[in-house]
Amino acid sequence: MSTQHNPSDIESVLHEDRMFSPSADFAAAAHIKSPDQRDALYKHSIDDPETFWAQVARELHWFKPWDRVLDWNAPDAKWFVGATTNLCYNCVDRQVDAGLGDQTAIIWEGEPFESASPEVRHLTYADLQRETSKFANALKSLGVKRGDIVTIYMPMVPELAIAMLACARIGAAHSIIFGGFSASAIADRVEDANSKVIITADGGWRRGNIVELKDKVDAACTQNDSIDHVIVLKRCENTINWHDEPSPDHGSKRDHWWHDLIDAASDECPCEHMDAEDLLFVLYTSGTTGKPKGIMHTTGGYMVFTYYTSKIVFDLNPNRDDIFWCTADIGWVTGHSYIIYGVLPNRVPTLMYEGAPNHPGPDRFWSIVARHNVTQFYTAPTAIRAFMKWGDEHPQKHDLSSLRILGTVGEPINPEAWMWYHRLIGAERCPIVDTWWQTETGGHMLTPIPGAVPAKPGSCTLPFFGVDAAIVNEQGEEQPPNTGGLLAIRKPWPGMLRGILGDRERFIQTYWSRIKTPAGEPYYFPGDGARCDQDGYFWIMGRVDDVINVSGHRLGTMEVESALVSHETVVEAAVVGMPHEIKGTGIAAFVTLAPGAQPSDELRDQLRAHTANEIGAIAKPDLIRFTDALPKTRSGKIMRRLLRDIAAGNDSVGDTTTLEDLSVLARLRQSEES
């Protein structure tokens, strides 16, 4: 089993028995106030999921109610069968219709901080209604229809939220690509989704520099001819290339300024009545093959699940002065679910920040918390480890007393980082919710409920309502406490993925084939190893497949290997995860070179740049070792376990009896390091 922890972390996790309970005042004011209340609701949600979720769904707006809550024909789930709704309506119009149009929906802060204060925008629900309507009409004017997939490659600006909500408004699905991905990554995703329209910007600000988004889109357009229209938001007054000429398949020009389109658009656009099972979005994520998969989420179930997890896990309350801030980029699922779709229907302002955590200084996040009175703060362990390293003085400079709840997501949090977060940021007062979930699950699956579930540092604690999680062996048998095994989900939940775009076989193979009941009923297999302790608390051990979690971002080792071998000097590459102080897991690449190519630091730099070009900067290997052979079994399989040990610097590499050529190991150990 691969694990993302380094050995000292495993030790501390295994012996972690500290428990942190919420204060009585906190619990009394929370939606779920006690362990007993949580347990009773959990039991109801498992014994009778249909009534449970129907009750939750009634808190939202539907144009037409459902005929049945659930149709389950493993692995296919249909939730809220026969119902129609619109997620943009629930995020925006519903508040306007209730007379709350002038309340703040989004608080946005730009990165540049040259003057005394940064650029800040407050968008009300009425602003969002007007802007999403205009932009929805602009999309329609370019021929976008219900059912199309629109690609979005934008910086973290309010127009990104407007673009995704406008798609939901007219029933077009979106495929958002994180701004750090390369032109090739965009081209692959555009082609897979058959997108005709891509929305981008002349740039975005990151650590004081402009991220050249439009250039990448231009390059992606030369790699495939599916794109008819490129919509460009002016964000940075950056000089960009402009394509006025029509693309071959349609009569109008290719590039359009965002502002020109919306100037010409009406601000009235009714929300489409969408079937609960209509596609809401596709989001690409890495798997065990070289090709990322387009995870499909549909409208009704995803809406109910993200709304309710936001409400309960972050204890959102529109009748208090809550300001919710999730620091993720909207290009990842965390941003989809917990910046926009789950938060806005709760009628709590959501904060969006454009840039880096350390620009202009390492206290930027804390200055944002203090200036905007953030009450719930949600970030990744990798960020917390970076803050620890930058020093306690940075959070200590700011008044963080508005904070009520802290959250983490994306990778296991080591107890040391948990304790730092608890002490320095939470002042030993704020419950921490360590939320385990995935792109595929849509929302939180294993998580504390802040007023009701005492936390243990490093554990994501208990399953959320309706989530039937267990630790099982390969035969699907539940494991006793404190025995490592595979994490499995045994019942459908509303936010679950509905498939992989265009690849039914891969959907079944990846998620529904590995673990089955003795009767042959499949369980959902997320790809993580875990254990449950004597209190039923879950402890995630890391991925058990060839996926690694780098700074909480998911990458397939095969994806990085394919990028490396596409370089002319590389014959073979094997990529594994290795412990990394800040990133949690770093990328180690073992590379054999073509005859004539010489190992050198220069070549290492070239290979790093090449990987960034093929995938994105997040995929750059932290360590590249040149070797004349890779350790293989007699049947030719690369022994990644050995490579993981070597990359981690472990001297004892365990069982090598299946290794074909033992001398490879010695040579690998001596291979030049970077």
Q: Which residues are at the interface with ligand PRX (CB under 6 A)?
A: 285, 333-334, 409-412, 434-439, 460, 526-528, 540, 543, 549, 554
Residue with Cβ nearer ligand PRX (129 or 435): 435
As measured in angstroms, the least distance from the Cβ of 91 to ligand PRX is 20
As measured in angstroms, the least distance from the Cβ of 333 to ligand PRX is 5
How distant, in Å, are the alpha carbons of 491, 553, 576 from that of 2? 26, 16, 9
- Other C-beta atoms within 10 Å of 33: how many? 17
Which residue type does 316 have? L
Residue with Cβ nearer ligand PRX (202 or 528): 528
**Residue 523 near residue 517 (C-beta atoms within 8 A):** yes
CA atoms of 533 and 502, how far apart (whole Å): 39
In sequence order, what E strands does 412-468 have?
Answer: 432-435
Q: In 3D, which of 388, 162, 335 has the Cα closest to residue 259? A: 162
Which residue is at the shortest CB distance from ligand PRX? 439
As measured in angstroms, the least distance from the Cβ of 468 to ligand PRX is 17
**Residue 610 near residue 616 (C-beta atoms within 8 A):** no
Residues, the chain: 674
Residue with Cβ nearer ligand PRX (410 or 463): 410
Residue with Cβ nearer ligand PRX (70 or 430): 430
As measured in angstroms, the least distance from the Cβ of 41 to ligand PRX is 22
Residue with Cβ nearer ligand PRX (289 or 438): 438
Residue whose tokens read 């428990």: 19
As measured in angstroms, the least distance from the Cβ of 94 to ligand PRX is 26
Residue with Cβ nearer ligand PRX (409 or 515): 409
As measured in angstroms, the least distance from the Cβ of 332 to ligand PRX is 6
As measured in angstroms, the least distance from the Cβ of 486 to ligand PRX is 12
As measured in angstroms, the least distance from the Cβ of 413 to ligand PRX is 7
Residue 107 φ then ψ, to 5°: -110, 125
How distant, in Å, are the alpha carbons of 44, 77, 519 from that of 73? 22, 6, 15
As measured in angstroms, the least distance from the Cβ of 115 to ligand PRX is 35
Q: Could you give the angle at the alpha carbon of 150 between the alpha carbons of 144 and 155, nearest 5°?
A: 130
Task: Give the DSSP letter of residue 93.
Answer: I
Residue with Cβ nearer ligand PRX (26 or 524): 524
How distant, in Å, are the alpha carbons of 293, 409, 487, 504, 530 from that of 296? 9, 21, 22, 11, 26
495 CB-contact burial (10 Å; exposed 0-12 / middle 13-18 / buried 19+): buried
- Other C-beta atoms within 10 Å of 251: how many? 7
CA atoms of 56 and 50, how far apart (whole Å): 10
As measured in angstroms, the least distance from the Cβ of 432 to ligand PRX is 11
Residue with Cβ nearer ligand PRX (125 or 281): 281
**Residue 567 near residue 613 (C-beta atoms within 8 A):** no
In sequence order, what E strands does 330-375 have?
Answer: 350-353
Residue 379 φ then ψ, to 5°: -145, -170
Task: Give the DSSP letter of residue 480.
Answer: P
CA atoms of 99 and 23, how far apart (whole Å): 35
Residue with Cβ nearer ligand PRX (84 or 306): 306
As measured in angstroms, the least distance from the Cβ of 307 to ligand PRX is 17
As measured in angstroms, the least distance from the Cβ of 443 to ligand PRX is 9
Q: Is the peptide bond before 75 cis (omega within 30 degrees of 0)?
A: yes
CA atoms of 223 and 226, how far apart (whole Å): 9
547 CB-contact burial (10 Å; exposed 0-12 / middle 13-18 / buried 19+): buried
As measured in angstroms, the least distance from the Cβ of 586 to ligand PRX is 16
Residue with Cβ nearer ligand PRX (1 or 597): 1
CA atoms of 10 and 526, how far apart (whole Å): 21
Q: In 3D, which of 272, 321, 347 has the Cα closest to residue 94? A: 347
Residue with Cβ nearer ligand PRX (298 or 549): 549
Residue with Cβ nearer ligand PRX (203 or 526): 526
As measured in angstroms, the least distance from the Cβ of 89 to ligand PRX is 26
**What residues form DSSP beta bridges with 279?**
298
As measured in angstroms, the least distance from the Cβ of 555 to ligand PRX is 9
Residue with Cβ nearer ligand PRX (66 or 378): 378
Largest CA distance in the chain: 75
Residue with Cβ nearer ligand PRX (438 or 517): 438
Q: In 3D, which of 503, 505, 527 has the Cα closest to residue 514? A: 527
Contacts for 194 with CB less than 8 Å, ≥ 6 apart = 149, 226
CA atoms of 320 and 546, how far apart (whole Å): 44
Task: Give the DSSP letter of residue 433.
Answer: E
Residue with Cβ nearer ligand PRX (139 or 547): 547
Dihedral of the alpha carbons of 515, 519, 521, 523, in degrees to the nearest 10 = -30
